[in-house]
Amino acid sequence: DADVTQTPRNRITKTGKRIMLECSQTKGHDRMYWYRQDPGLGLRLIYYSFDVKDINKGEISDGYSVSRQAQAKFSLSLESAIPNQTALYFCATSNSYNEQFFGPGTRLTVL
């Protein structure tokens, strides 16, 4: 079984819809992250959480929100999706050495 899972793996939605992407991990790590990947731009950090009560904005948090429901769960929401949020979204966890372990990604298309 994968250590970091993401659901859904693919999603097509319309402008203005609310979308939630979910991430679960079985690695027992406290630290979790959400990134988006766009061609030619690499990975950009959206939000991160160092423990259940800690939430921090990353480089590109506008238009996104997160919830850390438990140590193992970290969800990303788009309150009102827009086309330029079309991207590949990755969840990751890390250990104390900041070795990051990535989920398989969610491909989101906003029409």
Q: How far is the CB of 23 from another protein (least distance, A)?
A: 11
CA 68, 12, 38, 7 dihedral sign is positive
Cα Dmax for the chain: 40
Query: Residue 47 phi/psi, 5° resolution?
Result: -145, 155
Q: How far is the CB of 62 from another protein (least distance, A)?
A: 17
CB of 17 or CB of 97, closer to another protein: 97
* Contact positions vs another protein (CB under 8 A): 4, 33, 35, 40-45, 48, 58, 90, 92, 94, 97-105
Who's near 62: CB < 8 A, 6+ residues apart?
none
CB of 40 or CB of 70, closer to another protein: 40
How far apart (Å, rounded) are the C-alpha atoms in residues 102 and 16? 28
CB of 22 or CB of 101, closer to another protein: 101
Q: How far is the CB of 35 from another protein (least distance, A)?
A: 8
